Amino acid sequence: MLKILNKSLLPLFLSSSLPRFLFLFHHSSFITHHSLFHMALAFFFFINYNFPMMKKICLLIFLLCPFLLKGEIFLLKIDGPIETITEEYIADSFKEVKSARDAKLVIIQIDTPGGLDTSMRAIIKEILASPVPVAVYVSPRGARAGSAGFFITIAADIAAMAPGTNMGAAHPVLVSGTAIEDTMKEKVTNDAAAYARSLASTRNRNEDLSGKAVEESKSYTAEECLKNTLVEYIAEDIEHLLQQLEGKEIRMTNGKTFILKLKNEKTSTLTLSSRQIFLKTISNPTLALFLLAFGLIGLLIEFTHAGAIIPGVLGGISLLLAFLAFQILPINYVGLFLIILSIGFFIAEIKIQGFGAFGVGGIVSFVLGSMMLVNSPIPEMRPAMSMIIMLAVFFGAMFMFLTYKVIQAMKMKTATGVEGMTGETGEARTDITPSSGKVFVHGEWWNAVADEPIPEGSKVTVESMANFVLKVKKV
């Protein structure tokens, strides 16, 4: 009876369950209980069917099933200032986490001095809306979670730090980096402090120290954070953290409870996309400043040397990339206009004899504009002073050289016209009389006269010129 049942139903399962299983074999994240039911039935019929090779295949599949059913831990990394590209990366990563049916945990490894408030709040919203527990891990040794990083850490379901790390110093400042004054200072600080306490309260963390990190710019070591319940764990590395989390019960903000079973689970690192890596690279403030300066110089060379082509092409591309970076960075347009004005001064120095005045004005304008270009209180989000100084020295040296050449040219003797011929020496090619003769001067034959006869072959000096006839005398 069993053989009849096998032979009659086997084609049905070959056409339905086997293709389903093969699909699942390549896409193990889509395995569900419904799929497992089909797999079990398919395995039952295959193993009982009189087909030795199929028995071997089914046995192999049976042995692989435990590996296919493993869950997944997602690892995200925030390294550097928190801005719009970081925000986009975290949002994209959580979309992938939500689409994965076997996600067990999300770990965000963080090392940041802080960043933009809007990006920080967007990232925290993603953490709070996560379908699985989220652990924020300040790592490696020497890392920090400053300012915005502090808020992100205390917002997580699980907060952990590596030894030798710190977090805090979350006092708000204006994007220009200046201190906030009077009523506005009080309003912004109170808002940020209340947000920090709210996050800490949601996660049963120390509200008082969270508020002080904002109001008094307090910063805490890993040991202080663990002792005062700002974080739950201190771990040497990711593996050590996972060992500590094994079997722990995590209660989410939505009321769901997770018991973490992480042993031997697969860890998948979600990295920036190629587009995000490109945008993050060119949005480096120092590189953006270099692209802007290089682009303006390239266009300047093209305009003053029409037909050079390559400087114009490279300059145009660099300038467009710089403006793309400015769409990402918090730009101070006064600083941008000062840099453009400096290029105008440099052009004026070339076209007008300003004896260096326009050049000095251009250098001062460039340095001030570069320092004001990016509105950020975080040094990592501002152009490096070394780059600003290097470009200023380059422009200064270039225009000092041009000024020197102009002054040198003004001191040179006139090389053309009457003034250019006076004082030149040559050779008498015929006898020269007061009325006629020929001399060779400046690589040319000239008619010449002299007050006294000069024999052929004598060296002569030009005294003057009238009507294209040289008056010479014997040397």
Q: Where does a domain end: 411, 429, 463?
A: 411
Alpha carbon 374 to its chain's center: 13
pLDDT at 470: 86
Instruction: Please compute the mean of the pLDDT values over residues 470-475 and round it to a whole number.
Output: 86
Which CATH number do you get for residue 213? 3.90.226.10
- 189 and 269 together in one domain: yes
What residues contact residue 139 under an 8 Å CB cut-off, 6+ apart?
109, 110, 111, 161, 162, 165, 235, 237, 238
Could you tell me the residue range of the domain that residue 460 belongs to?
A: 417-474
In terms of average pLDDT, the best of 11-15, 18-22, 103-107, 187-191 is: 103-107
Q: Which of 133, 69, 50, 130 shows the shortest CA–CA distance to 94? A: 130
- 152 and 30 together in one domain: no
Residue with tokens 């009659």: 8
pLDDT at 355: 65
Instruction: Please compute the mean of the pLDDT values over residues 189-194 and round it to a whole number.
Output: 92
Radius of gyration of the chain (CA): 39
pLDDT at 377: 66
CA distance 280 to 289: 14
- 234 and 85 together in one domain: yes
Question: In b/e form, how buried is each residue of 434-448, taking b as 16+ CB within 10 angstroms?
Answer: eeebbbebeeeebeb
CA distance 15 to 32: 19
Could you tell me if 95 and 63 are in contact, meaning their C-beta atoms sit under 8 angstroms apart? Answer: no
- 156 and 244 together in one domain: yes
On the question of pLDDT at 137 being above 50, the answer is yes
SS3 111: strand
- 303 and 234 together in one domain: no
Using pLDDT thresholds of 50, 70 and 90, give the confidence band for residue 8: very low
On the question of pLDDT at 303 being above 60, the answer is yes
- 178 and 162 together in one domain: yes
pLDDT tens, position by position, 59-73: 555 445 444 445 689
Instruction: Please compute the mean of the pLDDT values over residues 82-92 and round it to a whole number.
Output: 93
Average pLDDT of every residue of the chain = 81
3-state helix, strand, coil in the chain (%, to 5): 55, 15, 30
pLDDT at 178: 47
Instruction: Please compute the mean of the pLDDT values over residues 169-176 and round it to a whole number.
Output: 68
What residues contact residue 421 under an 8 Å CB cut-off, 6+ apart?
441, 442, 462, 465, 470
What residues contact residue 403 under an 8 Å CB cut-off, 6+ apart?
349, 355, 356, 359
pLDDT tens, position by position, 197-227: 999 999 999 999 999 999 999 999 999 999 9
Overall domain count for the chain: 4
- 255 and 330 together in one domain: no
Q: Residues 404, 410, 414, 419: what is their CA dihedral angle, to the nearest 10 degrees?
A: -160
| Cβ neighbours, 10 Å, residue 233 | 18
Q: Which of 468, 464, 394, 461 shows the shortest CA–CA distance to 426? A: 461
pLDDT tens, position by position, 391-443: 888 877 877 777 777 777 777 666 566 666 777 888 999 988 888 899 998 78
pLDDT at 133: 95
pLDDT at 308: 78
Q: Where does a domain end: 274, 306, 327?
A: 274
- 262 and 339 together in one domain: no
Instruction: Please compute the mean of the pLDDT values over residues 303-325 and round it to a whole number.
Output: 86
Using pLDDT thresholds of 50, 70 and 90, give the confidence band for residue 101: confident
pLDDT at 75: 96
pLDDT at 141: 94
- 83 and 19 together in one domain: no
CA distance 76 to 112: 14
Using pLDDT thresholds of 50, 70 and 90, give the confidence band for residue 159: very high
pLDDT at 352: 75
- 322 and 336 together in one domain: yes
CA distance 96 to 93: 5
On the question of pLDDT at 311 being above 70, the answer is yes
On the question of pLDDT at 28 being above 60, the answer is no
SS3 166: strand
On the question of pLDDT at 282 being above 50, the answer is yes
pLDDT at 36: 45
- 115 and 223 together in one domain: yes
pLDDT tens, position by position, 351-377: 776 666 787 888 888 888 888 887 766
pLDDT at 351: 74
Using pLDDT thresholds of 50, 70 and 90, give the confidence band for residue 388: confident
SS3 451: coil
